[in-house]
Structure 1
Amino acid sequence: MTTIRALRTYRLPERPSLIWLELETGDGLVGLGETFRGAAAVETCLHAELAPVLLGRDARQIEGISRQLLTPYVGYNSSGTEVRAASAVDIALWDLAGQRQGVPVYQALGGGARASVPVYNTCAGYAYNTTGQRRDIGADDESMGPYDDQVAFMRDAGALAKSLLAEGYKAMKIWPFDIYVPASGGHLITLADLEKGLQPFRQIREAVGNRIEVMCELHSLFGGHAALRICQALEEYGVFWVEDPLNKMDDVVGLADLRRRTRVPICGSETLGGLRPFRDLLAGDALDVVMLDLSWCGGITEGRKIAALAQAWNRPLAPHDCTGPVTLMAGLHMALHAPTAIYQEVVRATLATWYRDIVTGLPVIEDGMAQPPVAAGLGTRLQDAFKQQDGLIVRESR
């Protein structure tokens, strides 16, 4: 009765980066998964490559399924299509495991290491990262609403920091250097552009002092010289971390060299798939903070092993979410469980808008702290209205 009998996927044309997965078992339970980027390719992989492996398989064999799906002939050791598909499957299997035991996923993993989790607001906009098109903005861009924080941090980051503090957020992440990448492919940043990129950090400190932590995201866009110049310039602003500073975040030697030459902590990387890149980065003394995305790294099974590596090297862990609501819920469960987890990323713009249209449950945030989900499994389901909307692409394998 615990065998997988159906695999269903859902895609929305207006959000082409996202795909949702349901795994149905013989006892009538439905597990929910999600992944991000190249959704159409992931859909093909799930139905053409993985469905024949999964259908009829015991859904309780999570570790065995994870090992099989994460060692394909191609696609391993990166966040490629195969690994993203495997990640969605694994998240759904853990959702099933929690439901079957009648407990939230973090308890099925072995219980919580903390009563709640601090969150930071990634200062994105309402449709950030979901349309398949990059949005680089300036201070003169039109704001799409009160939570269009990507425009806000370029326009007046100090006012944005005050707004976040008023809502209980005690940490924020911004990326004002991205717009200077096209001029040189990220290999050069001039003093003039460096000064303009530093302005939001200066505004935050002038407006609220040290009452809010600030992270700087570099989106794997920079070469070593430009990244070092930015990191060293950020030192005086007390940034909590600089995230994904180099254009290859599996570059152990380059990251270790950068880390030795700057005082800002280096964080990485949501872009990596599988256990091995994290092992190599930690062994090479190349990271201060371990960030992982459960919809890209291999799911919760692989994520808990990456968390164990972070614990073994005494490094903090920070689950990523600037993708979708299911990944956010999965990350929260990992952040509750993992011993060294320090933050869960959220985007207040999406929490307040379209995430609510997709799923039934989202994190409850009180005074900057995400509270533990109480329902069994992930604690969220696809909304009935979402499944019935026009234009939704549904595909099923049995």
Structure 2
Amino acid sequence: MKITAIETLRTEEFANVIWVRVHTDGELIGLGETFYGAGAVEAHIHETLAARLLGRDPLRIEAIHRDMLNLPMAQSSTGVEYRAASAIDIALWDVFGKVCGQPVHQMLGGLCRDRQRIYNTCAGTRYVRSSNIRPVSNWSLETKGRYEDLDAFMNRADALAEDLLASGISAMKIWPFDPAAQENEGLFITAAQMKAAVAPFEKIRKAVGDRMEIMVELHSLWNLPTAKQIARVLEDYQPTWYEDPIRMNSPQALAEFARATDVWVTASETLGSRYPHKDMLDRDAVHVVMADLCWTGGLTEGRKIAALAETYHRPFAPHDCIGPVGFVAAVHMSFSQPNTLIQESVRAFYNGWYNELVTTMPEIRDGYVYPMQEPGLGVELTPSVFERPDLMVRRSEA
């Protein structure tokens, strides 16, 4: 079998999502995806990677993965090179599963559990949907609708927690400190801003007590002293973890933060490859290892990051707040890794715009996601995607 063509697809409406389809002479097509800077990713795939991949055996996944990242500019980041390689890698695993007639989680070693617990990232239906994904201004806040969870956590966190529990979801992630971070450039937080940001935690605990786990997303927006200040204040509300409290470029600084709190530190979707993760683990800077498969090297690198975390006796928690194919890939990864703690999910997405783009979603009920059983990833782009007037397709052929 050989790779005969590499095709990329993106749209104006979902400006940051880009899909890759790897065509083979066996008539199988693998589907992959990444997110952010879709035009730059498209250029790298066709102008740099295509010549290295066309004509090769798509089942030599490890060798192809190494060659895609054996470039001077691809050095353990989540930049264009890693995002492009991630999308192609996911597509190659999709091909592998289709060749063998097995789901990707089976190709990765098989199920480690029959169902996987999820948490709900409380985004709204238009969150990250546009090309503007800067903190706060990207929120595209909607106030009406069944799953407008971003507006809900900022204004009705108690009702939101009760609604999630009623559906069986007992863990939620919120980020009410972002507005203050943007206003003050992450340098300090005022007493009034602290009070406003803490209000959702007070409402949740008053409404549902400790029946709801609360994950705190800090989006790497704060300097170290202020992040420590926030952590001390929030400890009274017993959050499950603090995620990316500072920029993920200093293991020493993150280790100092971790020593200043008894709450777990989770890091990070922003780290590319296992090497920076090892730097964090060596410094005892992280308790839960998080990776986004669409940014960090795909399934090939993702399973190495999960194995590295297990070596340090740390749980693994795949990131997802981007596109539908990435979510499906993360679910396959979650099931195949023995140390997966919990899978991120966004009900505003999997009940919303994901269904405009792909044929199916994993079954999610009562706070758990269930394994997909179709060969490969088990998901394809909907026919309507190919009919969109804003669709942009580029193809490289052997």
Scaled by the length of structure 1, the TM-score of the pair is 0.97
Residue of structure 2 in register with 1:299 after alignment:
298
* TM-aligned CA deviation for residue 144 of structure 1: 4.0
Equivalent position amino acid for 2:110 in 1? G
1:71: how far off? 2.2
- The one-letter code of the counterpart of 1:357 is E
CA distance in structure 2 between the partners assigned to 1:99 and 1:382 by the alignment: 16
Closer/same/farther in 2, CA of residues 276 and 142 from structure 1, 3 Å limit: closer
Matches within 5 A, 1:289-368: 289-368=288-367
**Match in the other structure for 2:176:** 176
Greater shift after overlay, 70-79 or 204-213?
Answer: 70-79
Contact 1:105–1:333 (Cα < 8 Å) also in 2: yes
* Structure-to-structure mapping, 1:261-280, within 5 angstroms: 261-280=260-279
Q: How many matched pairs?
A: 395
CA deviations 1:181-229 (Å, max 9, x no partner) are 1332102112221121111011001011111111000001010011001
Match of 1:387 in 2: 386
For the residues of structure 2 that align with 1:51 and 1:308, how far apart are their CA atoms? 30
Instruction: Provide the C-alpha distance between the structure 1 equivalents of 2:375 and 2:170, rounded to a whole number of angstroms.
Output: 29
Stretches of structure 2 that go unaligned for 5 or more consecutive residues are none
Aligned to 2:86: 87
Which residue in 2 is equivalent to 1:218? 218
Give the letter aligned to residue 254 of structure 1. Answer: A
* Aligned position for 1:43: 42
2:100 matched to which residue of 1?
101
Write the letter of the residue equivalent to 1:256. A
Distance 1:184 1:237 in 2: 24
The one-letter code sitting in structure 2 at the alignment partner of 1:243 is E
Cα distance in 1 for residues equivalent to 2:6 and 2:299: 19
Q: Distance in 2 between matches of 1:96 and 1:238?
A: 44
- Contact persistence 2:112–2:338 (CA under 8 A): yes
| Residues 16-31 of structure 1 mapped to structure 2, 5 A cutoff | 16-31=15-30
Change (3 A) 1:385 1:202: same
Q: Deviations over 1:159-193 (max 9, x none)?
A: 00011111111110000000001332102112221
CA contact (8 A) 2:136 2:182 kept: no
- Whole-Å separation in 2 of the counterparts to 1:273 and 1:142: 32
Determine the structure 2 residue equivalent to 1:126: 125
The whole-number CA distance in structure 2 between the counterparts of 1:150 and 1:42 is: 29
- Note the alpha carbon deviations across 1:219-260, whole angstroms, 9 max, x for none: 0101001100111111111111110100x2131000101101
Bigger drift between 187-196 and 58-67 goes to 187-196
- The amino acid across from 2:129 in the alignment is T
1:136 CA drift (Å): 2.1
Identify the range of structure 1 (126-135 vs 365-374) with the bigger mean alpha-carbon deviation: 126-135
CA distance in 2, matches of 1:184, 1:391: 38
Q: Counterparts of 1:229 and 1:146 in 2: how far apart (Å)?
A: 35
Aligned partners of 1:168 and 1:158: how far apart in 2? Answer: 16
Aligned mates of 1:256, 1:63 — CA distance in 2:
32
Where 1:143 maps in the other structure, the secondary structure is coil
Q: Which residue of 1 aligns with 2:234?
A: 234
Match of 1:153 in 2: 153
Q: Does 1:249 align with 2:248?
A: yes
| Matching residue's letter, 1:152 | A
Cα distance, 1:130 vs. partner?
A: 2.8
Structure 1 pair 142/381, CA: closer, same or farther in 2 (3 Å)? Answer: closer
- State the AA in 2 paired with 1:171: A
Rounded Cα–Cα distance in structure 1 between residues aligned with 2:13 and 2:152: 24
Report runs of 4+ in structure 1 exceeding 4 Å deviation. none
Structure 1 residue ranges without an equivalent (≥5):
none
d(CA) in 1 for partners of 2:313, 2:59: 31
DSSP 3-state at the match of 2:182 = coil
Instruction: Determine if contact 2:219/2:245 at 8 Å carries over to the other structure.
Output: yes
Q: Which residue of 1 aligns with 2:372?
A: 373
Partners of 1:232 and 1:263 within 8 A in 2: no
SS of alignment partner, residue 186 of structure 1: coil
State whether residues 167 and 365 of structure 2, in contact with CA within 8 Å, keep that contact through their aligned partners in structure 1: no
Pairwise CA distance, 1:135: 6.0
Aligned residues of 2:13 and 2:390 also touching (Cα < 8 A): no
Deviation of residue 387 (structure 1)?
A: 1.2
Q: 1:355 to 1:111 in 2, by over 3 A?
A: same
- Give 3-state SS (helix, strand or coil) of 1:50's partner: helix
Preserved CA contact (<8 Å) 2:124 2:142: no
Inter-partner Cα distance in structure 1 for 2:183 and 2:357: 38
- The CA distance in 2 between the partners of 1:75 and 1:69, in whole Å, is 8
Give distance in 2, aligned partners of 1:166 and 1:111: 31
Q: SS where residue 47 of structure 2 aligns?
A: helix
Structure 2 partner of 1:285? 284
Secondary structure of the corresponding residue to residue 27 of structure 2: coil
Deviations 1:280-316 (A, max 9, x none): 1111110010000000000000000000011001111
Specify the alignment match of 1:162 in structure 2.
162
- Give the whole-Å Cα distance in 2 for the aligned partners of 1:327 and 1:91: 8
Give the TM-score taking structure 2 as reference length: 0.97
